[in-house]
Amino acid sequence: MQTFNSDGVEIAFIDEGEGPPVLLIHGFASNTATNWVNTSWITTLRDAGYRVISMDNRGHGHSEKLHNLDQYGGPIMAEDARRLLDHLDIDQAIVMGFSMGARITGFLTLNHPTRVRAAIFGGLGINMVRGMAGTGPIAAALEADSLADITNPTARTFRSFAEQTKSDLKALAACIRSSRDPISREALAAVTCSVLVAVGGTDVVGGSAAKLAELIPNGEALEIGDRDHMKSVGDKIFKDGVLAFLKRHAL
């Protein structure tokens, strides 16, 4: 992976292929490899004729690990994405985020509307307009001495995933304890670009894709079959739906 300096923070990224640029932003405790490479997203988009850029969010993957709460939050992390586009001299890109990455994509779209040609919110539906709840137990699980000490099943799942991705647990705890401001319904009503909201049919983490799409003037909803939050990421329905969306809006 390459790196660049985002206002003093080292951010790792990949840049592959040729064609209209698509920027990918992964979810919490994940990284480029887990979210986009291992699920064949990078290959799928590159083979379809797109330039694919994917960043490891601050505190994740190969990017710099920060342990202070005020160094995280959706608006701050969206600025890393904007600076990456600046670094690569890309005026405008299609941006796709998954879960936390979808929230970051939302802030990027709202704060820098001219930089986002179209957006894809993966794994986050109507819950985008709600601040993330239940972060305390997850943060505590990340800070626990071992997986065996965690009894909360949801928190245990997050800790297990963080260990699988070989993450910096202290950095993730700071990230999830940071500001989890929701994106308001009024803000989404002002979004002018086309937006695809794609969420698994049994994804209780993301919530309804259709209900979020209804709040966005040019919003479209895609239900990713009978998939929960984790299993929807690499699903064929998701990929096919995104490729169809890109054909309508990328060229």
Give the pLDDT confidence of 169-197 residue by residue, as tens digits. Answer: 999 999 998 866 789 999 999 999 999 99
At residue 132 the predicted structure's pLDDT band, cuts being 50, 70 and 90, is low
pLDDT of residue 15: 98
Would strands 9-16 and 2-6 be described as parallel, antiparallel, or unpaired? antiparallel
For the segment 101-110, the average pLDDT, to the nearest whole number, is: 97
137/173 Cα distance (integer angstroms): 10
Q: Above pLDDT 90, what percent of the chain? A: 85
- The answer on pLDDT for 131 being more than 70 is no
Beta strand residue intervals within the chain, DSSP E: 2-6, 9-16, 21-25, 51-55, 93-98, 116-122, 194-199, 219-223
In contact, 220 and 213? CB cutoff 8 Å: yes
Residue 200 CB-density burial (10 A; 0-12 exposed, 13-18 middle, 19+ buried): buried
Average pLDDT value over all residues in the chain? 94
pLDDT computed for residue 22 by the predictor? 98
Residue type, 189: A
* Whether the predicted pLDDT of 134 surpasses 80: no
- pTM > 0.85: yes or no: yes
What confidence tens digit (pLDDT) does each residue in 12-69 have? 999 999 999 999 999 999 999 999 999 999 999 999 999 999 999 999 999 999 999 9
Residue of 154, 148, 123, 160 whose CA lies nearest to 136:
154
With bands split at pLDDT 50, 70 and 90, how would you rate the model's confidence at 133? low
Query: Which range has the worst mean pLDDT, 159-168, 186-195, 234-243?
Result: 159-168
Q: What is the pLDDT of residue 167?
A: 94
**The predicted structure's pLDDT at residue 223:** 97
Q: Does the CA dihedral 187-70-116-194 come out positive or negative?
A: negative
pLDDT at 158: 87
| Contacts of range 229-235, beta carbons closer than 8 Å, 24 or more positions apart | 229/99, 229/123, 229/200, 229/203, 229/204, 229/205, 231/200, 232/122, 232/123, 232/198, 232/199, 232/200, 232/203, 233/35, 233/39, 233/98, 233/122, 233/123, 234/38, 234/39, 234/40, 234/41, 235/200
Per-residue pLDDT at 251: 59
**Residue 41 · residue 24 · CB < 8 Å:** yes
Nearest 5°: the CA angle 220, 19, 224 is 30
Is 6's pLDDT higher than 60?
Answer: yes
Which amino acid is present at 176? I
Q: Residue 155 has what pLDDT?
A: 87
**Vertex 22 angle, CA 124 and 214, to 5°:** 35
Q: What is the mean pLDDT of residues 87-93?
A: 98
221-231: average pLDDT: 94
Domains and CATH numbers, the chain: 2-132+180-249 (3.40.50.1820)
Average pLDDT over residues 118-122: 98
Phi, psi (degrees; rounded to nearest 5) at 172: -65, -40
- Asked if 123 and 106 count as a contact pair (C-beta separation under 8 A), the reply is no
Q: How far apart are CA 142 and CA 184, in angstroms?
A: 29
* Tokens at 39, concatenated: 């699920």
Q: How confident is the model at residue 238 (pLDDT cuts 50, 70, 90)?
A: very high
